[in-house]
Chain A
């Protein structure tokens, strides 16, 4: 008996450090999965119209059921009366996760040295703990294409979901090799190269591109013939494009370059997606005819030419969509990837229409990236990657109430919100203890 008492005594002593640990203030909220029933919402399914007073049942990361009068069973019920459910918004191109503080080279992981580095994997450099990720996902943007930049073939982009603690947990099932197509445009209004220099550089890049491509074709043919090849990781990656395993993401913007890129793509017979396409509206019919999908944006950009109408960038996606091009929208941002819905809103207002703009950041993106079996709409069997909002998510004043990614209910918090909570009514305020 006395022995037992001693054991208890020792046990209690041992517990002290644990009890001390429990004295932190506040509770940390983690993403959590489980069974959830989102009840009584207006559901924007995107692919099957709008369901009024509907519910979505989430089980094990998937949408188990969509419809009216779903039974909760043992699911946690979230009342969404007066609110809306949308599929997670997908950004067709972003640096989110690849950079933390833009001006600090120590935090820039989106560009490598060299012109031909298609084997550089953006997914490897995605920082799952970037402060910008929770800042982004509370806006309803759940999925982004992490795109490397730099040389002619800067690397391989990867689609990620904005929840998870390793890149593999975030990976959303699509990769594409980036090609910065030789450009006749100026990078920005600060690009002070002469017209001649721009032309020369573009021609040189075109020559390099063709040489590299010939080499990749040879590499692929030798590989197919089971030849023993020296380790050549760049060619290994490009051979996957030639074999049709990976598409090319062809970044191209000026109208004449777009036409040249279309010719090049068709002559090489590769699977390709055009990205950027700032002047796509000038050659929209040609893009449509080539049946190439585009990732356009950002809409919140200046016109590419001083003589263009002031709204050229706003109207670009609408004009391309009208011509029959499948359009995906991108923010092309990093920390402000949260502005994707506003880019879509501007596209909607300036000719694209709300329905098409919504598609461009949901189902179109899912289809273009080959993940429409899992993302892009509210359908039974798809991943539970969706959000609840007080209204139209493109509308600036709308509040996002809940976000689910792969069935995980992610906390509606981030550093921006925490700073708001701390400083809205600072304590001490202007005076401390009356001084």
Chain B
């Protein structure tokens, strides 16, 4: 018995060691910074001590032995920026073969070598929500990434503590791919709503068959035949059970309102609307029934469903009590989300704290990780950025970016070439004139070759 206990304990210790060994955690003391805590105001000339990847203490005149000290006098320290809608570090984006593909997982296509991760770090972004595209009404399951750039193992990027999330999409994209592209439902916003409702109803039936089976199993001597396992439907069941957060690509007020009603009918409260250009038109409903809206600062008119947009969207939503974040959906824009957030001051004059929340604690709430990241608080993970200049100023320049207390970007140590590996096929390094910035429809262009390439110049 005692022996067994020892064995068990040593196993447990091994497991702990193994878990610890998975991703690096750092310790650092940042001195004399103007600390933008987000949740507790601005602290002048303040020190932040990080131990083993976690914020240990915040205060004046902190000391620590054997820890690297960084003097940040005159500089700003803010929590790592969080992007609630990104496609950085993904090999594939759309599984555009059916209106519902909830069985698909973005965790399977994470590319840890994507230089986009480093560029995001150089813009102070420490966490991104790597999402499936918007081709399907119900798309694949997303993965929340911590930008631990340098590892070749995709799993090292996963934020394992983050809850599961899934991509939904409304409006032009799913109706174009399935209705106009393939001649299948949905072809209209009626169809999109029906596809989602039918999916949930089918999931309820599926759950019932398993409940019946499990109940039958408990009968003595029973030998029931198990139902066929279906990842697609099981994922929808998990949504209904509140285990998965929906992040829904959406633009128009009518489609947003329709999905809010669908979710209310099925008792779903874990839903965030993404892009949501016309969210401002249904701001009271978004505030009352959802986990908020993740918007662009000023993108509009790239397609018809965003023609009646306003750059004041983030301000209107915030003033109406909607949890609001600013996302990138772009490998270019992710590099200056602090500037994108600042636009909510140009358009709607939000105060600094409201504005910084758009890229920190608010997206953390929408990803279900606000207890771990998104603000500078003792006990939270040490994802931090040091800025020269206030981060909402157009002249701000990120200086250092830390994930779990480990420094992944330092402007003074930046080598020109930060690629982790060079492809053998790139004998001549390709020159790209622009990032294809709007990636939501990545991987579905083969449906539309006859539409002309301009369609995809702006095709979130």
The interface of chain A, by Cβ under 8 A from chain B, is: 100-105, 108, 111, 131-132, 183-191, 195, 253-254, 276, 278-279, 300-311, 334-336, 338-339, 342, 345-346, 348-350, 394-399, 415-417, 419-420, 423-424, 426, 429-430
**Residue of A whose beta carbon sits closest to that of B459:** A103
B104-143 near A? 1/0 per residue, CB < 8 Å: 0000000000010011001100000000000000000000
**Residue of A whose beta carbon sits closest to that of B280:** A423
A304 near B122: Cβ-Cβ < 8 Å: no
Given contacts A186-B433, A346-B336, 8 further A-B contacts (CB under 8 A): A100-B307, A190-B436, A311-B122, A394-B394, A396-B339, A396-B342, A398-B346, A424-B312
B433 near A253: Cβ-Cβ < 8 Å: yes
- Given A105-B452, A396-B392, A187:B433 Cβ within 8 A: yes
Interface: B210 (CB within 8 A): no
A189 near B302: Cβ-Cβ < 8 Å: no
Of the listed stretches B211-219, B229-237, B282-290, chain A binds B282-290
Q: Whole-angstrom distance between the alpha carbons of A339 and B343 in the complex?
A: 10
B395 near A186: Cβ-Cβ < 8 Å: no
Of B118, B300, B345, B452, which one neighbours A335 at CB under 8 angstroms? B300
Q: Whole-angstrom distance between the alpha carbons of A339 and B452 in the complex?
A: 27
Q: Whole-angstrom distance between the alpha carbons of A354 and B283 in the complex?
A: 39
Q: Whole-angstrom distance between the alpha carbons of A420 and B316 in the complex?
A: 7
The smallest beta-carbon distance between B313 and chain A, in angstroms, is: 9
The smallest beta-carbon distance between B60 and chain A, in angstroms, is: 29
B435 near A396: Cβ-Cβ < 8 Å: no
Tell me which residues across on chain B come within 8 A of A301, comparing CB atoms: 332, 434-435
- Given A309-B416, A430-B285, A188:B394 Cβ within 8 A: no
Of A190, A302, A396, A424, which one neighbours B394 at CB under 8 angstroms? A396
A420 near B310: Cβ-Cβ < 8 Å: yes
**Residue of B whose beta carbon sits closest to that of A343:** B394
A185 near B281: Cβ-Cβ < 8 Å: no
A102 near B301: Cβ-Cβ < 8 Å: yes
- Given A310-B119, A396-B392, A304:B431 Cβ within 8 A: yes
Tell me which residues across on chain A come within 8 A of B349, comparing CB atoms: 397, 399
Of B123, B393, B434, which one neighbours A396 at CB under 8 angstroms? B393
CB within 8 Å of A: which of B404-456? Answer: 414, 416-419, 427-436, 442, 445, 452, 454-456
The smallest beta-carbon distance between A296 and chain B, in angstroms, is: 13
A396 near B343: Cβ-Cβ < 8 Å: yes
Tell me which residues across on chain B come within 8 A of A423, comparing CB atoms: 280-281, 283, 310, 316
7 shortest interchain CB distances as A-B pairs: A345-B394, A396-B342, A420-B312, A397-B345, A335-B301, A430-B284, A185-B431
Tell me which residues across on chain B come within 8 A of A105, comparing CB atoms: 452, 454
A307 near B429: Cβ-Cβ < 8 Å: yes
Of B346, B392, B418, B436, which one neighbours A310 at CB under 8 angstroms? B418
Tell me which residues across on chain A come within 8 A of B339, comparing CB atoms: 342, 346, 396
Q: List 25 A-B contacts (CB under 8 A).
A: A101-B302, A101-B304, A102-B301, A102-B458, A183-B433, A186-B432, A188-B436, A195-B427, A300-B332, A301-B332, A305-B430, A306-B115, A308-B416, A310-B414, A335-B302, A338-B298, A348-B394, A399-B349, A416-B309, A416-B312, A420-B312, A423-B280, A426-B281, A430-B284, A430-B285
**Residue of B whose beta carbon sits closest to that of A110:** B454
Of A304, A306, A334, A416, which one neighbours B347 at CB under 8 angstroms? A416
Instruction: Give the interface residue-count category, chain B.
Output: 35 or more
- Given A394-B394, A416-B312, A103:B302 Cβ within 8 A: yes
The smallest beta-carbon distance between A130 and chain B, in angstroms, is: 9
Of B304, B336, B346, B430, which one neighbours A399 at CB under 8 angstroms? B346
The smallest beta-carbon distance between A256 and chain B, in angstroms, is: 9
Q: Whole-angstrom distance between the alpha carbons of A304 and B332 in the complex?
A: 12
Q: Whole-angstrom distance between the alpha carbons of A187 and B436 in the complex?
A: 9
B342 near A397: Cβ-Cβ < 8 Å: yes
B430 near A186: Cβ-Cβ < 8 Å: yes
Interface: B457 (CB within 8 A): yes
Q: Whole-angstrom distance between the alpha carbons of A311 and B409 in the complex?
A: 13
Q: Whole-angstrom distance between the alpha carbons of A415 and B339 in the complex?
A: 23
A349 near B397: Cβ-Cβ < 8 Å: yes
Tell me which residues across on chain A come within 8 A of B348, comparing CB atoms: 420
Tell me which residues across on chain B come within 8 A of A187, comparing CB atoms: 433-434
Of A305, A345, A399, which one neighbours B431 at CB under 8 angstroms? A305
B310 near A188: Cβ-Cβ < 8 Å: no
The smallest beta-carbon distance between A427 and chain B, in angstroms, is: 10
The smallest beta-carbon distance between B293 and chain A, in angstroms, is: 13
Q: Whole-angstrom distance between the alpha carbons of A308 and B119 in the complex?
A: 10
Interface: B370 (CB within 8 A): no
B431 near A310: Cβ-Cβ < 8 Å: no
Tell me which residues across on chain B come within 8 A of A349, comparing CB atoms: 389, 394-397
CB within 8 Å of A: which of B370-384? Answer: none
A307 near B315: Cβ-Cβ < 8 Å: no
B434 near A188: Cβ-Cβ < 8 Å: yes
Tell me which residues across on chain B come within 8 A of A310, comparing CB atoms: 118-119, 122-123, 335, 414, 418
**Residue of B whose beta carbon sits closest to that of A430:** B284
B429 near A306: Cβ-Cβ < 8 Å: yes
Interface: B319 (CB within 8 A): yes
Tell me which residues across on chain A come within 8 A of B456, comparing CB atoms: 190
The smallest beta-carbon distance between A259 and chain B, in angstroms, is: 14
**Residue of A whose beta carbon sits closest to that of B430:** A186
Q: Whole-angstrom distance between the alpha carbons of A272 and B119 in the complex?
A: 34
Q: Whole-angstrom distance between the alpha carbons of A426 and B118 in the complex?
A: 42
The smallest beta-carbon distance between A205 and chain B, in angstroms, is: 15
B259-291 near A? 1/0 per residue, CB < 8 Å: 000000000000000000000110111011000
B304 near A104: Cβ-Cβ < 8 Å: yes
A339 near B298: Cβ-Cβ < 8 Å: yes
B331 near A302: Cβ-Cβ < 8 Å: yes
Tell me which residues across on chain B come within 8 A of A415, comparing CB atoms: 308, 310
